[in-house]
Structure 1
Amino acid sequence: MRESLFKKELLSVLRNKKLLIPIIAVLFIPVLYSGMFLWAFWDPYDHLADLPVAIVNQDKGADFEGKELQLGNELVDKLKESGDFNFKFVNKEEGYKDLKNQKYYMLIEIPSEFSSNATTLLDDHPEKLKLVYVPNESYNFLSSQIGETAIEKIKSSISEKITETYAETMFDKVTELADGMGQASDGASKINDGAAELKDGSSLIYDKLSLLADKSIEFNDGVGKINNGSKELVAGSKTLADGLGQLQEGQNTLKSASDQLKAGHEQMAAGIHQTKEGLGAVNEKLPAVVAGTEQIGAGAKTLSTSLQQWQSEAQKVNGGMAVLQEKLQGLIGQLPENSPERLELEGALNQLKTGTAELAGAAGQLANGGNEIAAKIGELNTGQKQLQQGVNELAKGSEKLESGAQEISKGQNEFQAGMNTFSEKFADAKAGADQLANGSTVLAGGLGQLQDGSAAFKDGTAQLKDGAGKIADGNATLYDGSEELASKLADGADKASSVNANDDTFSMMAGPVKVDNEKINKVPNYGTGFAPYFLSLGLFVGALLLSIVFPLREPAGVPKNGMSWFTSKFLILMGIGIIQALISVLIMFVGLKIEVQSVPLFIFFAIITSLTFITLIQFFVTTFGDPGRFIAIIILILQLTTSAGTFPLELIPNFLQPISAFLPMTYTVSGFKAVISSGDFSFMWHNVGILAIFIVLFIAGTITFFTGMHKKRFAAAAVSE
């Protein structure tokens, strides 16, 4: 009977101390894994104040915009106040020495230029502030990772402080900008006033030019009439005698102009004379300059010849040096190899050889330079001679000009004398009137040209009028623009001066973004976060160790069939698995005070997890024996890496990720996360369904094995009964 076989199995456990005690011990294995591990790592960040960290402050401070910066000291003060770690403030030598000796887990060094680098923001190449973070990773790797998180917080704090300082300076500059814009607004107002006057003046010019254009038309018409009259004048020149009185007035005017012309000729003659004297002086000096240049050229040629001789001699010296080197080399070869005397002689010989080669090269360069200087001085001398010839020709021309000026002056004197005679002998005006008739023809031609010029003048005044109109329009635009500029500058000054900065403003600019860490499904500490992983691990190890202390294959009596054999074993294992789960849950609630979304579902899921691992271990160990335990250990190892209990599944190697779908711990961890943290009970039931499939498959496999074994081992005993 099934019950009698189960009773036998149960009594065999209770009556056998060697079996009962190990089973009782195994009941607490999940507690050791889940309870001890979770207790040890429940909230490690709560003890960071006990972690020794060395701080080395080398900062020398700096001056920024008249303000003293001591960022290193400020950082030290903040670290003292924070209490994040057990900070030890030491000197550099002591800090690095104790870090290597594992007295500290990490060291933070503040360099000497820490504050001075903060003042370079506005430079062409600003320097970043540097903190030297030195963890001793061999001492403890996780402490270095924690330290990196802390150093990021320190970096953020320092950045905010520096930005706050620059923001304060920037707002001071904005205030200065407001004052400057106010002054610019006043200046723009003055420009606007000037533009208004310019606008009025250009309008007046346009009006006057319009009047001039109108008058030019009248003038052109008048010139046309005069031209027509001049033609009549040719015919009526004989009547000029009647107007000899009027001619007398013109003669007086002509005499006055003649006097002015004479004075101008005298001034021109004086200027020509001075020019002639100046050219003479230049002409006298040029021969000496040309002669000096020729002497310099001769000297340059002599220098070039001497340099060429020097080059030839240098080349001879260089050749002789080669002969000397050969002879000396033979003498040096007789000295012991690598002896000080030989090494010294060889070094001196090489220096002498190098010096003579350089001397020959320098001589060649100097000779070439001397030739070039001689050639250039020859070109200069040729140019000076050409200049001298030109000055001679100018001097001759000035003499002719002076002579011509004298002739003009003589003619002017004669003209003046003739005018005087004309005045004295006005009776001869009749003869002049005849000449006037001839001159009137010329006058008619000149008036024709005057009429053409008058037409061009009319067109020019029209264009000038148009241009003045455009200038007037442009000045109007300038006036409007200057008025708008003054207005906008005034507005800008008002807006800039309205910026009222305070400590809150500086703080906002230093840290404009505030992150609200709004967590969903909040996990309060490390222990709660790792509970699904360690609880699953503990129950699996408990099931595995149970297979060592409790015989999973050998029955306490003769089983009736494979099902009774399986049931007798499974009921014992199931009871132990449920007890393991309950003990673990009790420790989690009482000892660690874990908070879950649903206490009943948490207990239920822990039991389902324990039964899943019990059936898995029962199947492999019952079916394969000791190799089955090895297989179970392999499965445990794979589950440790692929269950996403620590790192996300996406962070493990790609070829391991698909394996997680076939291992039960993947679903136990997910289910525990749902019932402990997220409260997604539908997801928990989804994982329960998958675990139930594992349970059914493992039970079916075990029953199949027991059925086969029963046929082999107990078939004869069953027939006899």
Structure 2
Amino acid sequence: MSIILKIYKRDIKKIISNKPLMIIIAGLLFVPALYAWINIIASWDPYGNTKGLLVAVVNNDKGSKIQSIEINIGNEVVDKLKNNQSIGWTFVDESEAESGVKYGKYYASITIPENFSSNLLSITANGEPTKANLIYAVNEKINAIAPKITKSGLTTLQSEITSSVTKEVSNTVLNYMSAYGVELEQLKPKMEEFINMVSNIDANLPQIGEGINNAYNGAVDMNNFIRNIQENVPNITNSLNNAQNVIKSSNDFFSKVNGTIKNISPYIRTDLAGAKANADTVKNNLSSINNSINTDVKGQQEALKSSVNNLNNAISTINNDINILQSVNNMLHSNLLSNFISKMQNIRDQLVQNKLNLDNVISALSSGNAISSDAVNSAIQNIDKTSQLIDESISNFDNTISPQINNLVNNTTDMANNSLGLLESAKNNMPLINSLLKDANIGTDLGAAQLKDIKDKFPQAQETIHSNVEKFKNLNNDQKFNELTDFLHKNTKDVSDFLANPIELVQNRVFPIPNYGSAMSPFYSTLAIWVGGFTLLSILSIHVEPLEDGKNLATTKMFFGRFLTLATLSLLQTIIIILGNFFIIKTYAVSPVVFLIFSMYVGLVFIMIIYTLVSVFGNVGKALALIIMVLQVSASGGTFPIQLTPKFFQNISPMLPFTYAIGGMREAEGGIIWSSLYYNAGILSIYFFISIIISIFLKEKVNKKSEKFVKRMRESGLVGE
């Protein structure tokens, strides 16, 4: 050990006493740090500057109408984009956009066609709806990443347009329904007034019947009694006329409501079509992921998140339709409608399961795991089955369920018509009663025989009026009438806003890192440490001269003596790199001290690996160190997740020291899980001790066997030590 320390002290003394060497060493200490700092600064916040990516926007939309309301979705999109700083939206005409994309002035262009609004609102019109198109053109030769970012912006724009259209359409329909709901609510007091009048008529009938009986029993007083009854008949007739006028007003109202409630069917069909559109969008997103399964992990994450948003929209829409249909079914009590609601619930459950599957895939991606083609194909098959179920439900709704809802409207209208019929019947019976009374008046002279005929006919007339009064009372307490009123009387603003934005995203960042540059510092720091060690071994000699006493030095002692010198310089390089990260470019770390200590440990391991390769294999070892570095850049998962790389790199990743060096630094940077930190440190120690074993058992043997080979190379004058 004393000899190893002597070699080390002599090396340090030579460095301190030799100014040219000190200058070179100083350069070797700072060059790796500059390499790390420059790369970290360059990648500090690349996604925060996406507004510099110019995307041309062309608005040719001519607008459309819904319920006499002018709507231009294209103009709304342009207004939103003007306030959106995520991408450099530039508003130009069509020729400028085409030329700009072709010659690289714009990275991409988005064209809104003339029929954009009319196609979007076709769902509210008769006939089959037509999907609207956004024409997206991209120049992919300018940059590899820019098309992915602009496409992500387009996906977000597409989602915003869908939300806006849903809000506009639902708000318009619900406003009309709510207006009639208010009128129906206001009608209820008039209906109660009418029913009270009819009840009063029914209450007077027993008195009339009693009078007839008394007339039959006492023919002497019949004439005066009948006159009193006849005086009440005009009052009863007037009451019936007034009640008839009230119910006619009600019937006019129900005729107005008839057309509006029938909008429930296209409204629900619109939602089903929207849910299918969301499902098809998810299917397309998954297909695009399948086409880039090993290349674009960020694009996959964005596509998956967008797909989850689409599924959430579909789930919310189906849930809302289930609630509406359930309310309708509470009035109809239809087994057919109950079965359809069960199918809708099955669709919703499948959509929820598809969403959970995608959430699992996103979690796997976030954890660094790769997506397999089988998993993506399975997800595509599942969402395709759900889309087919929605198609079947749309057909079933058109052919069967929609008529059920129309029956509800017809029953409501029939209710008013039946009321008119009941009143008309009662009114028609009044001449009969009046005639009976006249006959009774005559009967005072004709005798008890004719009075008996009047008495026999009166109970039938009384029963007719009384049964009609009971029906009116049931109408006032009819749950279906109340449910219809409640259904129409909604807060349209809240409902339409809910339909457009049913979910608020609450983000939970488990190990938050404030910027991209800090997130990349483990990779660039690790790479700089390796580069620093490699440059040390490229400039400094591994040959150790004998000590002053002239004794020959053992190979192992020379190896470890020079290693101490190289380890000292490597530690200084590492300290400069890491402290510069924290104090010069201000990178973030939860535990800066642990980050520094672990990085120094990485520096010792790396210098031992590189020194062993060069010491044992000479120039070949330098080439090996360079090759290993190149492999580690691609296979360590420092930039893209390792699961996105080809299988070769995934297979060699666990065998490379970069993998564990970066992993340990990330623990200290984002939040330490000590078991993970210890694991990474333990694996690195294996590399350290394997390098020592190689140097002890192979250095002398390999050096002797390669001595002639190296000598011949040096004779060429082109190869140094």
The two structures have a TM-score, normalised by structure 2, of 0.55
- For residue 518 of structure 2, what is the aligned residue in structure 1? 528
> Post-superposition shift, 1:682?
3.2
Matching residue's letter, 1:161: S
- For residue 544 of structure 1, what is the aligned residue in structure 2? 534
2:481 corresponds, among 474, 482, 490, to: 490
Following superposition of structure 1 onto structure 2, how do residues 377-392 of structure 1 map, counting pairs within 5 Å?
Answer: none
> Post-superposition shift, 1:177?
5.9
- For residue 500 of structure 1, what is the aligned residue in structure 2? 491
Matching residue's letter, 1:508: F
Matching residue's letter, 2:25: I
TM-superposition CA deviations, 1:494-536 (whole Å, max 9, x none): 312441222x443222110111111110121111221111111
1:69 corresponds, among 62, 68, 71, to: 71
CA distance in structure 2 between the partners assigned to 1:180 and 1:98 by the alignment: 57
Structure 1 residues 634 and 710: alpha-carbon distance in aligned structure 2, compared to 1, 3 A threshold = closer
> Post-superposition shift, 1:33?
2.9
- For residue 121 of structure 1, what is the aligned residue in structure 2? 123
> Post-superposition shift, 1:130?
2.3
TM-superposition CA deviations, 1:214-253 (whole Å, max 9, x none): xxxxxxxxxxxxxxxxxxxxxxxxxxxxxxxxxxxxxxxx
TM-superposition CA deviations, 1:595-628 (whole Å, max 9, x none): 2111211110110111111111011111111221
Structure 1 residues 666 and 61: alpha-carbon distance in aligned structure 2, compared to 1, 3 A threshold = same
CA distance in structure 1 between the partners assigned to 2:540 and 2:476 by the alignment: 98
The 10-residue stretch of structure 1 (146-155 or 553-562) with the greater mean CA deviation from structure 2: 553-562
- For residue 165 of structure 1, what is the aligned residue in structure 2? 168
- For residue 57 of structure 1, what is the aligned residue in structure 2? 59
User: Is 1:681 equivalent to 2:679 in the alignment?
Assistant: no
- For residue 5 of structure 2, what is the aligned residue in structure 1? 3
CA distance in structure 2 between the partners assigned to 1:709 and 1:643 by the alignment: 30
1:597 corresponds, among 583, 590, 593, to: 590
CA distance in structure 2 between the partners assigned to 1:517 and 1:539 by the alignment: 35
On the 8 A contact 2:81/2:89 being kept in 1, the answer is yes
2:502 corresponds, among 512, 516, 530, to: 512
Structure 1 residues 665 and 46: alpha-carbon distance in aligned structure 2, compared to 1, 3 A threshold = same
Following superposition of structure 1 onto structure 2, how do residues 561-576 of structure 1 map, counting pairs within 5 Å?
Answer: 561-576=554-569
TM-superposition CA deviations, 1:397-434 (whole Å, max 9, x none): xxxxxxxxxxxxxxxxxxxxxxxxxxxxxxxxxxxxxx
TM-superposition CA deviations, 1:126-157 (whole Å, max 9, x none): 22232222222211121111112222222222
- For residue 153 of structure 1, what is the aligned residue in structure 2? 156
User: Is 1:667 equivalent to 2:664 in the alignment?
Assistant: no
Structure 1 residues 556 and 83: alpha-carbon distance in aligned structure 2, compared to 1, 3 A threshold = farther
Structure 1 residues 632 and 183: alpha-carbon distance in aligned structure 2, compared to 1, 3 A threshold = same
CA distance in structure 1 between the partners assigned to 2:706 and 2:555 by the alignment: 11
Q: Secondary structure at the match of 2:639?
A: coil
CA distance in structure 1 between the partners assigned to 2:70 and 2:171 by the alignment: 14
- For residue 82 of structure 1, what is the aligned residue in structure 2? 84
- For residue 570 of structure 2, what is the aligned residue in structure 1? 577
The 10-residue stretch of structure 1 (648-657 or 562-571) with the greater mean CA deviation from structure 2: 648-657
Q: Secondary structure at the match of 1:567?
A: helix
Structure 1 residues 711 and 63: alpha-carbon distance in aligned structure 2, compared to 1, 3 A threshold = closer
2:105 corresponds, among 93, 103, 106, to: 103
On the 8 A contact 1:23/1:550 being kept in 2, the answer is no
Structure 1 residues 185 and 653: alpha-carbon distance in aligned structure 2, compared to 1, 3 A threshold = farther
On the 8 A contact 1:562/1:708 being kept in 2, the answer is no
Following superposition of structure 1 onto structure 2, how do residues 9-20 of structure 1 map, counting pairs within 5 Å?
Answer: 9-15=11-17, 19-20=21-22
CA distance in structure 2 between the partners assigned to 1:681 and 1:104 by the alignment: 48
- For residue 613 of structure 2, what is the aligned residue in structure 1? 620
CA distance in structure 2 between the partners assigned to 1:559 and 1:645 by the alignment: 45
Q: Secondary structure at the match of 1:645?
A: coil
User: Is 1:694 equivalent to 2:690 in the alignment?
Assistant: no
Following superposition of structure 1 onto structure 2, how do residues 406-485 of structure 1 map, counting pairs within 5 Å?
Answer: 483=474
Q: Secondary structure at the match of 1:676?
A: helix
Q: Secondary structure at the match of 2:151?
A: helix
The 10-residue stretch of structure 1 (549-558 or 599-608) with the greater mean CA deviation from structure 2: 549-558
Matching residue's letter, 2:583: V
CA distance in structure 2 between the partners assigned to 1:711 and 1:55 by the alignment: 71
Q: Secondary structure at the match of 2:109?
A: strand
CA distance in structure 2 between the partners assigned to 1:713 and 1:652 by the alignment: 37
On the 8 A contact 1:118/1:128 being kept in 2, the answer is yes
- For residue 634 of structure 1, what is the aligned residue in structure 2? 627
Following superposition of structure 1 onto structure 2, how do residues 213-232 of structure 1 map, counting pairs within 5 Å?
Answer: none
Structure 1 residues 180 and 615: alpha-carbon distance in aligned structure 2, compared to 1, 3 A threshold = same
User: Is 1:24 equivalent to 2:17 in the alignment?
Assistant: no
On the 8 A contact 2:61/2:117 being kept in 1, the answer is yes
Matching residue's letter, 2:59: N
- For residue 287 of structure 1, what is the aligned residue in structure 2? none
On the 8 A contact 2:513/2:588 being kept in 1, the answer is no
> Post-superposition shift, 1:26?
2.5
Q: Secondary structure at the match of 1:107?
A: strand
Structure 1 residues 32 and 493: alpha-carbon distance in aligned structure 2, compared to 1, 3 A threshold = same
Matching residue's letter, 1:109: T
Q: Secondary structure at the match of 1:53?
A: strand
Matching residue's letter, 2:31: I
On the 8 A contact 2:59/2:75 being kept in 1, the answer is yes
> Post-superposition shift, 1:481?
12
Q: CA RMSD in A?
A: 3.7
User: Is 1:92 equivalent to 2:94 in the alignment?
Assistant: yes
TM-superposition CA deviations, 1:423-475 (whole Å, max 9, x none): xxxxxxxxxxxxxxxxxxxxxxxxxxxxxxxxxxxxxxxxxxxxxxxxx9xx9
Q: Secondary structure at the match of 1:28?
A: helix
Unaligned runs of 5+ in 2: 200-462, 708-721
> Post-superposition shift, 1:94?
1.2
Q: Secondary structure at the match of 1:119?
A: helix
Following superposition of structure 1 onto structure 2, how do residues 256-275 of structure 1 map, counting pairs within 5 Å?
Answer: none
CA distance in structure 2 between the partners assigned to 1:18 and 1:506 by the alignment: 77
Higher RCO (C-alpha under 8 Å, 6+ residues apart): 1
> Post-superposition shift, 1:704?
3.1
Q: Secondary structure at the match of 1:656?
A: helix
The two structures have a TM-score, normalised by structure 1, of 0.55
CA distance in structure 2 between the partners assigned to 1:112 and 1:686 by the alignment: 61
> Post-superposition shift, 1:184?
11
- For residue 607 of structure 1, what is the aligned residue in structure 2? 600
Structure 1 residues 631 and 544: alpha-carbon distance in aligned structure 2, compared to 1, 3 A threshold = same
CA distance in structure 2 between the partners assigned to 1:69 and 1:567 by the alignment: 81
Structure 1 residues 711 and 624: alpha-carbon distance in aligned structure 2, compared to 1, 3 A threshold = closer
> Post-superposition shift, 1:15?
5.0
Following superposition of structure 1 onto structure 2, how do residues 206-355 of structure 1 map, counting pairs within 5 Å?
Answer: none
On the 8 A contact 1:8/1:556 being kept in 2, the answer is no
CA distance in structure 1 between the partners assigned to 2:655 and 2:582 by the alignment: 31
